[in-house]
Each structure stands twice: as C-alpha cells, then as structure tokens.
Structure 1
Amino acid sequence: MTSVFQHALGADFDRLHPRLRRRFAVDGEPDLGCVGSGVMDRVWRGTALTAPLLHLGALRHILFPETGRCVPFTIENYAYADSYGRPTLTFVRTFQVAPHRRRRFDATMVWSAHRGVLVDYLGTHQHLAVDLHLAVDHTGALTIRSGPQRFPSGRACPALLTGDARVREWYDERDGRFGIDVAVTSRRFGPLFGYTGSFTVRYVRPDRAPVPAAVRPLRENPRE
C-alpha cells in the first residue's frame, strides 16, 4: 500500500529530507507505524474568546484550551486500510498538559483517490473533514495548509467554526530530532491554537504488533 503522503506529494515526495521520507512513507510495509515522543516548547491558544470553542473541541479530541511550556508530547502514526478500503494514517497527538491531565488531538488522514486529495478527518468520530494541501520547501521540510472543511453530512462548516491550519515539520541534523510548528487561526477570532517543539521517533514493524484500537476513530466517515 502506497503511503498517503506519497500519494499526495507525488514526485515531490523525493524532495523531502531522508528522515522525513522514511517517516511519511509509513504504509504498513515495512513499517506499520511511527511513534514519536518529545517535548513541545510551547503550547498556546488565542484570547479568552476562543476558550469556549476549544473546550468544546476537547470533548471529542479536537484541540483543547490548556497552554504551557515544556509539555511532554507523543504522536502515533499507524498505517492501515480503513473499512472503506482507503489508505489511512493515524495522527494521534497526546499532550501531558498537567501532572494528572492529558489532552489528545486525534486525526486520521485518508487518501481520496477519486478526488486526488488528502483528507484529514478530525476527532474521535471524524467530526470534520478537511482537505489538505502539501508541499516541500527548499530545506526539505514538509508544509501543510488546510483547505475546505465539511461536516460528516458533507455540508460546509460555517465560517464561525472553521480554522485555517499551517503546519511545518522538518528534521534537525544537529540535534537529531524532528521539529514541528503548528498554528491554527480562526477566521472570526484570529489566532486560535498552536504548538511548537521537537521529538524523536521509533518505528513499529507489522510483525511486532497490530494497529492499536485506541488510535482508530470510533466512527468512520464514508464521505470524501
């Protein structure tokens, strides 16, 4: 199975830094998954006006209101074909925002062959479907920006509830770590949520373990 990032980037996939190429080539063979752990130097949110929206999102693992510095972080990427046969990659991010509190930010990325686009389904029940636009910059880093957003019904998400995401991921040769910078901006309220930091990864072979049930969504959305 070709990885969702190879589908989305096409020939540009080979322009990624070699460490990023392996990380985003996870497709079930030879690597079933890629599990990262590290620290987010900063987790931030926007003004107090954004807090209700973030609290609502936290109920279904879509963003959250807490902020902090030096926040322990894990990210779980596992490849599989979903129940509709679509190449899928999990993006389950866990933030230890307090000694006894963790927050998750869940997504599954699905390659839509008939539309030729990578779709990011957000939340425990794939509550939102977001088209993603990928590119590789001159340093070999991956950049992602979000596009149109839809509910499971296929209806467009109201502007009040949408956010424009910008992501950049790179590999730091000097530190031997992956770097990540994420910013989500609300079209109504301005800066909404984001984080920046670094992590290392380990790869999971398919003969070692199945895809953990905890990283799969509770409901899959057939719409693309």
Structure 2
Amino acid sequence: MTIYSTLLAEKFQKLHPKLQHRYALPLNQTFYAKGVMHQIENGGKLLSPFYHFASKLNFLFPESGENIPFTIANRCLLNQDGEAQVSWERTFFFPKAVRKFNAKMTIDLERQLVKDSLGDVPLFYSDLQFEVTKEGFLMITSGTQKLVLGKRELLIPNLFQGRVSVLEGYDEVKEVYTIHVSIYNSLIGRIMMYAGEFTESDC
C-alpha cells in the first residue's frame, strides 16, 4: 500500500477499478499517461504577473487554450524523511510554450489528509481532502493553505486562498480517464480551470 490507498483505507476499494490501478502507485514505479485538455482557462490579465512568476516555479501559467496535448507522470519514492512521497509532473504543450504544473504529495494520517507542496520550489502548500463519490470517482478538495518562506510557514487568510476542486473519473465507453480541475478565489473568481481526458502510456 502507498499513500492514497493507505489514506482512503476501505474507501479505496470503492474507486472505479481503473482509478484503483492509477492510484495504487507502488514504490519506485511510475504511472505515465497522455491525453488532451479540451479546455484550459486562467483568471485573465489581472493575474498575469502572478502567472508568469508561478510558471518559473512550474506551478501555474498564463496560457489558456482548447484541445491542448498534455502528459502526466506520477512516481512514488521515499523522501529524505523516509516518507512515501508521490511526485506529480503535468506537462501542457501549448502552440507557443510548454508549461509544467508540478507537485509533491505526502500523507498526514493523524489529520487524515494529503499534504501538497506545489511547484519545483515549494513556496505554496495546501492540505487536500480525498473522497470517493458514489460513482467511484475521486473527489479532491483543498483545505488550509500556506506560503512557505524557508523554514517559515505563513497561513494564507481564507479570503485570499485558491479553493481547489478536482474530480477524476473513468469513462468506460471511451476507455479514458477524465479530469476536471477548478481553482477559484472568492474575491477574484477563477484562477485556473482545466478539463480533459487521458490514457495510460508506456512513458
């Protein structure tokens, strides 16, 4: 068992079998996939300076578009503290740029949540709650978020947090994984949204 099956415990068996396969992620093995994001939308020009800064950390990015090819690589390794840690590497191939959205996840069993460090230089941190829907899909929502400055962690006030909602499923007719991600702020509205589908690949 690795982090997601450990966290979800008996709920893991309620996931669609294809999602159980996707999120099993044994140590030292990688899940690769390729697909298309049918729609990617950011929050507009107001946030452009933030997107350009975040893109240098392989976090968020300024581009929007339709039918954008992308890849995913998930790998579980032991980190320097001996914890099982899953790396997320998402790459989006826009016509004029290649952008990445990377993260590293560990679990906190005491608080029953996933700890998500965003970007290659983890300035942004978020607690994530994982639940299984009645359809066997995986629903992920964000909780507490922090700004990480060296050894200091500054709690981001609720008003300024980006509320994350992720729904990942499997379409048995098309034989594809489906994904819908929304990051929303109560003051400025949408920060990022993307929705698409993908299939497992060899690399």
Q: Report the counterpart of residue 117 of structure 2 in structure 1.
A: 121
Matched, 1:66 2:67: no
Q: Which of the residues 77, 87, 92 maps onto 1:90?
A: 87
Q: Report the counterpart of residue 51 of structure 2 in structure 1.
A: 54
Deviation at 1:155, TM superposition (A): 1.9
Q: More strand by proportion, 1 or 2?
A: 2
Matched letter for residue 93 of structure 1: R
Counterparts of 2:92 and 2:155 in 1: how far apart (Å)? 29
The DSSP-based 3-state class of the residue aligned with 2:154 is: coil
Counterparts of 2:138 and 2:5 in 1: how far apart (Å)? 12
Deviation at 1:188, TM superposition (A): 2.4
Counterparts of 1:129 and 1:47 in 2: how far apart (Å)? 23
Counterparts of 2:201 and 2:44 in 1: how far apart (Å)? 36
Deviation at 1:3, TM superposition (A): 1.6
Identity %: 31
Q: Report the counterpart of residue 101 of structure 2 in structure 1.
A: 105
Which blocks of at least 5 consecutive residues in structure 2 are unaligned?
none
Contact between 1:159 and 1:188, CA under 8 Å: does it hold in 2?
A: no
Deviation at 1:81, TM superposition (A): 0.9
Q: Report the counterpart of residue 76 of structure 1 in structure 2.
A: 73
Matched, 1:176 2:175: yes
Contact between 2:113 and 2:130, CA under 8 Å: does it hold in 1?
A: no
Deviation at 1:102, TM superposition (A): 0.2
Q: Report the counterpart of residue 7 of structure 1 in structure 2.
A: 6
Matched letter for residue 38 of structure 2: D
Q: Report the counterpart of residue 212 of structure 1 in structure 2.
A: none
Deviation at 1:160, TM superposition (A): 6.3
Count of matched residue pairs: 200
TM-score (norm: length of structure 2): 0.92
Q: Report the counterpart of residue 16 of structure 1 in structure 2.
A: 15
- Describe the shift of the 1:65–1:161 C-alpha distance in structure 2 as closer, same or farther (beyond 3 A): farther
The DSSP-based 3-state class of the residue aligned with 2:153 is: coil
Contact between 2:7 and 2:109, CA under 8 Å: does it hold in 1?
A: no
Counterparts of 1:187 and 1:84 in 2: how far apart (Å)? 36
Contact between 1:49 and 1:189, CA under 8 Å: does it hold in 2?
A: no
Deviation at 1:114, TM superposition (A): 4.6
Matched, 1:33 2:30: yes
Q: Which of the residues 130, 134, 141 maps onto 1:134?
A: 130
Which blocks of at least 5 consecutive residues in structure 1 are unaligned?
205-224
Deviation at 1:11, TM superposition (A): 1.2
Matched letter for residue 25 of structure 1: A
TM-score (norm: length of structure 1): 0.84
Q: Deviations over 1:10-67 (max 9, x none)?
A: 21111000000011011226xx010110100011112322222222211211111100
